[in-house]
Structure 1
Amino acid sequence: MDESSFYSIDRLVEFGLTLGVATQMANSMNAGLQAMRMPGARNPMQPNALAEDQPLFYVVLDGKSVGPLATSELSRFIAEKRVTKETYVWKPGMQNWQLAENVPEVLRLVAMTPPPVPTMGDE
């Protein structure tokens, strides 16, 4: 058998090794693609999965502890002016109640709350 022939033992070993490496690369790429989370028919986004990660807050309103409040509920209280910078806030992990102005998570919610809608003539 000629050394340059496709069927020579060297060529067959080379082909086998190349095929093995290519298979490993394809399997690695397929595993990475399947681990990706993209919205679509095969793996739809689950809105409740995001809500589970939201921190829970407690606030002091009228001298009483109110909560636990999800981030969306606390945002609503901020928009309604029921929670202000002078309101005491606590969340799991905090040692003591803190004023809302001293809690970064609450300040972020205040910054994201839009101002009141302007009325006719307010320009």
Structure 2
Amino acid sequence: MRRRGGRRRDHRRADARRSRARTPRPGPARTHRRISTLIIQFRNQWAAHHVRIRHHGIKRLHHPDVGRLELAYRSMDLPLSDRAVYDLTVYTAEPGTSSEDRLKLLASWAAKQPSATEPTRDESH
């Protein structure tokens, strides 16, 4: 059994939807102007920001399994062709430090796990 006024309510909802569809919304235009203003501000701030590229230094990392690592790094550009230049970054731990011990532990775990490119032997055959 249908409740009273159900049809009228449905018609009112449909009328409201049609009305909203015909009425232009000011939101998108306003949003576009706001984003455009922010982009200009960002571009100006970025242009004024002087970025220095560091090719060597110390990185302090926190690994979820071994904890804190303090590693020295050096980056080198490797030009491989006329257009391609690759960046090689080498990380090392100071000998005799806890970071060296932790890095060796991570290396030992990696050595025990088969890589994704190595075929695994299926024992079921």
Q: Same fold (TM over 0.5)?
A: no
When normalised by structure 1's length, the TM-score is 0.29
Structure with a larger share of its residues in strand: 2
When normalised by structure 2's length, the TM-score is 0.28
Higher relative contact order (CA 8 A, sep 6+): 1
